[in-house]
Amino acid sequence: MRRCVYCGERSGLWARACADCKKLLARVEELRGRVGYGEFLDGLERTGVAKEKILVFLKADPHGTGSVQDQVTAEMTSELMKVMGIPGRQTAQEVKHIRSKIDEEPE
């Protein structure tokens, strides 16, 4: 039995993702670039997947390209920069780096 690359739960014999994470992936693709972050999170909650599992899914980095959350944040930031006329593009790796620096700072 394989484990889900997003949440670590059983995913079946050949599947890379469990049923819940497949639902979340489909919703991410559906909402990507169409809604703000709050609406994005609400859309994920409407899948019926438990909030705790959604948080694990968002933190997952199965391909080493940045977590799902970092990817979505990078896309939203890049779109905002474009709308504001600021050249450049934010990557998931840059978001991950910024987030890690913020997490390191003592409170």
pLDDT of residue 52: 96
Look up the domain containing 86 and give its range: 2-104
How many structural domains is the chain composed of? 1
Half-sphere exposure of 103 (CA within 13 A, CB side): 6
- State how far the Cα of 54 lies from the Cα of 17, in Å rounded to an integer: 13
Closest-CA residue to 65 (of 104, 91, 42): 91
Write down the number of H helices and E strands in the chain: 5, 2
- State how far the Cα of 5 lies from the Cα of 23, in Å rounded to an integer: 14
pLDDT of residue 1: 78
Per run of 10 residues, the mean pLDDT along the chain (length 107 residues) is: 92 91 96 89 96 96 90 89 88 86 74
- State how far the Cα of 58 lies from the Cα of 31, in Å rounded to an integer: 14
pLDDT of residue 3: 94
pLDDT of residue 37: 87
pLDDT of residue 20: 96
